[in-house]
Amino acid sequence: MPLSPTDDIVGPASRAGVGVGAFNVVLLEHAEAIVSGAEAAGRPVILQISENTVRYHGALPPIGLATLAVARAARVPVAVHLDHAQSTDLVHEAVRLGFTSVMFDASTLPYEQNLKATREITDHCRAHGVWVEGELGEVGGKDGAHAPGVRTDPAEARDFVAATGVDALAVAVGSSHAMTTRDAVLDFALIAELRASLDVPLVLHGSSGVADADLAHAVEAGMTKVNVSTHLNKEFTRAARTHLDAHPETVDPRKYVGPARDAVAGEVAHLLKVLHGGLG
């Protein structure tokens, strides 16, 4: 199945009131596992590459082109998304490579500068048929707008979307990045209020810290795109460590990375079902 525009995945999900899983790729095995899990679940999926991952690999093309190749070979619709990009040059490179969407993170700038920078990115991406996710407040930080008590204001969010023209908005409703426990407390009433206030899909960052039942509740309240990274990395590392503990003589990385890849695939399939009403 060909690489799919992000809007072809997120748009129908938003209208149907179901969630879309957006999972971060750190290694090639992540991309393979995520697509395998999506195929097992029979659901579309979004592969995400963050600016931090680009920095880890030294450049976007090695991991970006490999991820695009995995997406193009999938049997379900797959989009490829640049996550938390702060560099305009990196956004332009992702567009040239064929990414179907970007999330531009200008949250550390003053509000008016954030508007201007995001608007310029949106104009550039729209001219190339690329979908844009924006953010209001420091959603990109490890705390920022996900620090305790910080929440997205619906009126400000409405003004931000109108001024920037973004296709989706990441909002702060109680989750936090890089959580290794799944006990985040979401503000479901705020999610519903934001959904009623905005005419673009909502995006939940920091979803690794949210339990299955609350992920399903968040989608019911109005969330559409749900980002998961740390939770999958925990599964990857757990499976690799289990193999190495049982087989300390192992030196071939395929022997422990393979089970790690399989563990991620299984968890992706599970989460996609949860986001599509699988707890009902």
3-state secondary structure the chain: CCCCCHHHHHHHHHHHCCCEEEEECCCHHHHHHHHHHHHHHCCCEEEEEEHHHHHHHCCHHHHHHHHHHHHHCCCCCEEEEEEEECCHHHHHHHHHHCCCEEEECCCCCCHHHHHHHHHHHHHHHHHCCCEEEEECCCCCCCCHHHCCCCCCCHHHHHHHHHHHCCCEEEECCCCCCCCCCCCCCCCHHHHHHHHHHCCCCEEECCHHHCCHHHHHHHHHHCEEEEEECHHHHHHHHHHHHHHHHHCCCCCCHHHHHHHHHHHHHHHHHHHHHHHCCCCC
CATH top-level class of 6-275: alpha beta
The residue ranges of every structural domain in the chain are 6-275
Question: What confidence score (pLDDT) does residue 211 get?
Answer: 76
Give whole-number Cα distances, 150 to 110, 186, 210, 230, in Å. 17, 11, 17, 21
Question: What confidence score (pLDDT) does residue 87 get?
Answer: 94
Question: What confidence score (pLDDT) does residue 149 get?
Answer: 58
Distance from C-alpha of 191 to C-alpha of 222, rounded to nearest angstrom: 6
pTM of the model: 0.92
Question: What confidence score (pLDDT) does residue 73 get?
Answer: 97
**Residue ranges, the chain, pLDDT below 50:** 139-146
Tell me: the pLDDT tens digits for 215-258?
A: 898 899 999 999 998 889 999 999 999 999 999 999 999 999 99
Mark whether 143 is an active-site residue: no
- Catalytic pick among 7, 83, 187, 214: 83
Question: What confidence score (pLDDT) does residue 111 get?
Answer: 83
